[in-house]
Chain A
Amino acid sequence: MPTTADVEARLRRTAAACEPIVEDLLVAAPPDAAVAPAPRRPRRTGWLVAAALVVAVGVAGALAVDRDGGGDPAGEVETAGPAIAGGPPPTTDPAAANPALDTPVTLADGTEAVLAIPGPERWTPRFVEVDVALDGVEHPVEISLATIEALDDPAAEEVLSDRARIVTLSRGRALLVEVDGWGAVLGLASDGGDLPDERVAEVARDLTFRVTPGGPVDVGGAGITVREVRTVLTREGDTMGMEATLTVARIPGDPHPVCVGTPPVSETSRTQRCVADDRLLLSARGSRTQTILPGVEGAIGVTATGEQHAVSFPDGTEAVVTIPGDDPWPVVVALAWVAIEGDAERGVRQVRLFPESAIETAARTSSTMEEVDDLRWLAHAPDGTRRLLVQEGGWTAELELDDPVPLPDGVLAGLVRTMDLEPTAAGPGPLTGQGLVVTYADVRLGDLGDPDRPETQDVLGLSVDLDPCTGSPGRCLAGEVRAMPFGPRAGEVLDALTAEVVRPAR
């Protein structure tokens, strides 16, 4: 048994052995630093609106040229420039030098995607990898699909049928199922060991796919469940072995692919980001391909069921949110953070909005209720603080006037006279008032549960900020709109819900 000193000595020797690799990888500039994201392209809104639910795809860029660990990765980062190798020379405006070309792809599960990949080259599918679950086999297995030519004329060991045979490839024995010049290759081993012969025979009989000009699609068959599809694209005329991989992943039990951000749904995704309003997972592997990653835009559409819910926010934003399932998601409460002109002492105040009359409740907790007019009340609490209540169209807005600094008298007078809201069936509607600006709005849909038992709450929070949504916490839906789940039901629908949003002009 080595002593602690022995172990430490070996660790230090190993560290010294790693040091040349560290030196090799040191770069003068951070990865992607030379590459600015391409300007956002106009969204294909018509296409997206047609899709009731839009789901997820990943794009993984794989760098084949340096797969064996050779080359000079450090130099690669420095010299990769704004375009992929073979593209136009680097310029100081990489986005301008790399107009994006649309790349429509039909993935092996039938999903349609359109990617706009920066650079002058077109990308076409070359081969496909499909992770499938087989009934009776504990671990998922991988099926690769490629043209028969690309499979390098595999020798048949055993002919199973006119389209299926056991072959020997350079990497081992495999089942090959051939359709229209494309072959589906299933390695005859999984994490759990070799596949039973009878299961191989069943797969050979049941595996189906169609071949289209865009490659094989609709991979499936009896007892075969597709879990993840990776479509490997290559550039036309490419001599450098550059590849990118489109990945559609499904969470078990969810029939629709979803963009879940981090942690990755795909084992192959190392670098990823959600694009197209968080509906498309974009990921890359390899530094060169990562140089085009920031500029890739994409859109993908899959029709799915879901209920549409209109939501009107206190800042005037209108949204139609499509939530999977047919559960009701009524607006149960809203909140607005407001800045009030002349209220420099406090800066931001909170307005709560309830879909009910809160005047009676306020009266019970106040020492006096001062009626300003038909719509507005001033509630005076026993501790001397005041609240302004506005009741309109079944909604009540409540503003703490002395929390924690009293509103200046002049500002208060103007606000008491003018604060208003315009409720609709979709929510409290825009909150207005003299000098009042809503800076952040939050609407809760669902069931607030028992107030004494927070665990009973099952609420989907939708918020609108002045700043673009950054994706964490929760999930960005569109531009500045974020969704946050509170409760199991909300968590279940979070990944698949979508929104069409109209912001008020500012």
Chain B
Amino acid sequence: MVELHRTPPPTADLDLVFRECQRDLLRTVVPLTGGDRAAAEDVVAEAFARAQREWHRVGGYDRPDLWLRRVALNLAISAHRTAVRRRRRRLDPPADPVLDEASIEVLDVVRALPERQAQVVVLVYFAGESVASAARVLGIAEPTARTHHTRALAALATALADEEDR
């Protein structure tokens, strides 16, 4: 009839968890927002706000930092796609670029990857994680992460070659 899932009470301190993982968190969010500071800041704030709301549950996890990073990754991908849609539809100009052209080009092709591939790429190359630890952050099996990693590199090679040809 009714399943009651009683989560252990929070044992971790949210502020402490945030402080300890915010650098890793930003290293994945910043590239996924194309270096847009305001958007990255929004994503981090939103991830933190969600953690606050869910801390009664998340705070009891063994690794609440992984939950926070996963939420931020998903939000960053979602924010990017929303921004693209809105930019197409609205009369607003895009935000001023803050990165060099080559970096923007790379970030654009990374963000055009399928969601999981993009997440694995930023975790491995921007946050300095191994593929195995990227899998832990994303909550997926390591072989799955390796597959995403391999496919992502192949797709990036093709996309960057296309960019060079233009």
A interface with B by C-beta (< 8 Å): 1-4, 6-8, 10-15, 17-19, 21-22, 24-33, 63, 66-69, 73, 77, 139-142, 169, 171-172, 174, 187, 190-191, 262-263, 267-268, 270-271, 273, 285-287, 290, 293, 333, 335, 337, 352, 440, 442, 461, 463, 470-472
Contact = CB atoms under 8 A, between A and B. Distances in A.
B157 A7 contact: yes
Given A1-B157, A10-B102, A442-B2, 17 more contacts: A4-B153, A11-B121, A11-B156, A14-B126, A17-B100, A26-B23, A29-B19, A30-B18, A31-B44, A69-B37, A69-B95, A169-B91, A171-B91, A268-B86, A270-B46, A271-B45, A293-B49
A404 to B, nearest CB: 16
21 contacts: A1-B158, A2-B157, A2-B164, A8-B125, A10-B106, A10-B160, A11-B121, A11-B125, A17-B35, A21-B26, A21-B40, A21-B98, A30-B14, A30-B19, A31-B44, A69-B98, A73-B37, A73-B41, A273-B49, A290-B49, A470-B53
Nearest to A171: B91
Contacts of A26: 22-23, 26
Given A142-B90, A286-B42, A33 B15 contact: yes
Contact of A15 (B46, B75, B125): B125
Contacts of A461: 2
Given A69-B98, A471-B53, A25 B40 contact: yes
B52 interface: yes
A32 B45 contact: yes
> Per DSSP, are chain A's interface residues mostly helix, strand or loop, or mixed?
mixed
A296 to B, nearest CB: 13
Given A7-B160, A15-B125, A142-B89, A271 B49 contact: yes
A270 B157 contact: no
B41 A25 contact: yes
A174 B75 CA distance: 33
B141 interface: no
B2 A335 contact: yes
A68 B96 contact: yes
Interface string B137-162: 00000000000000001001110110
Given A22-B26, A352-B1, A73 B38 contact: yes
Given A17-B103, A24-B37, A69-B98, A30 B48 contact: yes
A21 B157 contact: no
A335 B1 CA distance: 8
A29 B15 contact: yes
A40 to B, nearest CB: 16
A14 B45 CA distance: 24
In which size bucket is the chain B interface? 35 or more
Contact of B45 (A4, A139, A290, A333): A290
A427 to B, nearest CB: 15
B42 A440 contact: no
Contacts of A442: 1-2
Nearest to B82: A267
Contacts of A285: 42
B54 A11 contact: no
Given A26-B22, A142-B90, A440 B4 contact: yes
A3 B157 contact: yes
B59 interface: no
Contact of A7 (B31, B88, B90, B153): B153
A32 B14 CA distance: 12
A77 B22 CA distance: 14
B88 A191 contact: yes
A18 B126 contact: yes
Nearest to B22: A26
A8 B89 CA distance: 34
Contacts of B36: 69
Contacts of A4: 153, 157
Nearest to B125: A11
B158 to A, nearest CB: 7
A471 B110 CA distance: 34
Contacts of A169: 91
B57 A18 contact: no
B116 interface: no
B54 to A, nearest CB: 7
Contact of A21 (B2, B18, B37, B125): B37
B30 interface: yes
A398 to B, nearest CB: 12
A442 B92 CA distance: 49
Contact of A67 (B35, B38, B50, B54): B38
A14 B22 contact: no
Nearest to A30: B18
B106 A11 contact: yes
Contacts of B43: 270
B38 A333 contact: no
Contacts of A22: 23, 26-27, 30
Contacts of B88: 191
A247 to B, nearest CB: 13
